[in-house]
Amino acid sequence: MPSLPRTTNELDIMTKEERPSRSQRNDFKWRLQCKILRSQMSDKHKPGESQQWSQSLETLLRSKSGKTTFQAFLKSEFSDENIEFWMICEDFKKIKCTSRLSSRAKKIFERYIQAEAPKEINIDHKTREHIKQNVQTPTRYCFEEAQKIVFSLMEKDSYPRFLRSDFYRTFLESVA
């Protein structure tokens, strides 16, 4: 049985016969993600902070390292569009320039809101249509309703899954 490669480049250059099985690659990917997360957070992470993330989604998202860890978890599940949308909305609310607000609103709409968007979020038709109208003359809060829906979805689904995940437990052990 081949040993696992240490880098993604090593995995890319291996021949088909040398490649590890899918489960081994997933394990490698998991270990690589954890290693990257630990290195990214070593300077930024405060002791005991990650235990506080289990208090609420708001607490988790107020923490820069919590947000990064949660996003990495969602990426590992191929379901990171909600956190991306929520974070982009937070940044969007800080825009003061009207022309920049308008161009950014259109980009957000095209990427997350419109039907068949590349990162389409799960919102109802009424909200989608309301946002479509708002984007014509956007304000800093034109995505607020969708952002609340997405937050609620994360709070009820993704966040509890994250807290129960091996991903979170492994992270807690690695920073302890």
Give the tens place of pLDDT for each residue, 36-49: 555 545 445 566 78
Q: Which residues contact 162 (CB under 8 A, 6 or more apart)?
A: 70, 73, 74, 168
**132 assigned to some structural domain:** yes
71, 83 in Cβ contact below 8 A? yes
| pLDDT at 4 > cutoff 50 | no
In this structure, of 4-8, 160-164, 171-175, the range with the lowest mean pLDDT score is: 4-8
**130 assigned to some structural domain:** yes
Supply the pTM of this predicted model: 0.74
- Give 59-104 pLDDT, tens digit per residue: 999 999 899 999 999 998 898 999 999 999 999 999 999 999 999 9
Domain of residue 132 covers 80-154
Total tally of structural domains belonging to the chain = 1
CA separation for the pair 32, 26 (Å, rounded): 10
**64 assigned to some structural domain:** no
**60 assigned to some structural domain:** no
CATH of residue 124: 1.10.167.10
For 101, how many CA atoms within 13 A lie in the half-sphere containing its CB?
A: 17
User: What average pLDDT does the structure give for the chain?
Assistant: 82
Tokens 């937070």 correspond to what residue?
A: 90
Dmax of the chain from CA atoms? 60
